[in-house]
Amino acid sequence: MRANLSIVVLAALSAFMMLGNACGDPVHDDLVSALGAENPKVPTGPLHRPGQPCMACHGGRGPAKSAFSMAGTVFALIDKTDPLSGVVVNLKDSVAYPDPNSKGIDTTTNAAGNFFLHSDEFTPAYPVHVKLSHPTAPAGAGKVMYSHVGRDGSCASCHHDPVGTESPGHIYFADDPSGLPPSQ
């Protein structure tokens, strides 16, 4: 009798473990799979996957170990996908925005045009307003996002190519080269 009970318990435990492994989030799994393979020329890290929805992997459900609260990529021009480094991305959430003295939080794009804030650095109270600037760009250059980020800190969830009814296109700094910093 005791051996039969052990077999039943072992079988139940095995079934529970298999069920646990089979009950993932298929929507999240599909989102991660849709990203495709890594570019073999770019190591995994801050410079990888420019223009892709960072939060698919860095949103807290993995597979990345680091969790971001806001992340995206800034490209130089409206009609090209060349990254722009050194862009200051200013984020003002619903706590900071109403206060005229609040500067919000800034982060800066890296060599791939990527920017990100870890969850422990910034937990946005949506909506979030966004402004792009660059310290060496011509006066008046940069962009202000006149709508707001309402719920998803992954910029490429909305801003991706091609432009169409589902997206305004990638995030860009200037309409033409005259609005870019001199080094570009």
pLDDT reported for residue 19: 46
68: CATH: 2.60.40
> Residue 133: what are its φ and ψ, rounded to 5°?
-145, 170
Indicate whether 150 belongs to any domain. yes
Candidates 89, 56, 58; CA nearest to 73 is 89
Residue 134 lies in a domain: yes
d(CA 80, CA 38): 21
Kindly state the average pLDDT of the residues 103-131: 95
Domain assignment present for residue 28? The answer is no
At residue 21, the pLDDT reads 45
Going by C-beta distance under 8 Å and a sequence separation of 6 or more, which residues neighbour residue 113? Answer: 50, 51, 73, 74, 75, 76, 83, 84, 85, 87
Residue 145 lies in a domain: yes
Q: Is residue 20 part of a domain?
A: no
Residue with tokens 């298999």: 18
Domain count for the chain, please give it. 1
pLDDT (mean) for 101-109: 93
For 83-103, what is each residue's pLDDT tens digit? 999 999 999 999 888 888 888
Residue with tokens 């223009």: 51
Domain hosting 48: range is 43-179
Contact in structure between 62 and 83 (CB atoms under 8 Å) = no
36 part of a folded domain: no
**Does a structural domain hold residue 65?**
yes
Weakest mean pLDDT among 32-36, 71-75, 80-84, 160-164: 32-36
**Residue type present at position 146:** Y
Question: What confidence score (pLDDT) does residue 111 get?
Answer: 96
State the pLDDT confidence band at 7, using cuts at 50, 70 and 90: low
Average pLDDT, the chain: 86
Reported as a single tens digit per residue, the pLDDT across 130-143 is 999 999 999 999 99
**Domain-located, residue 149:** yes
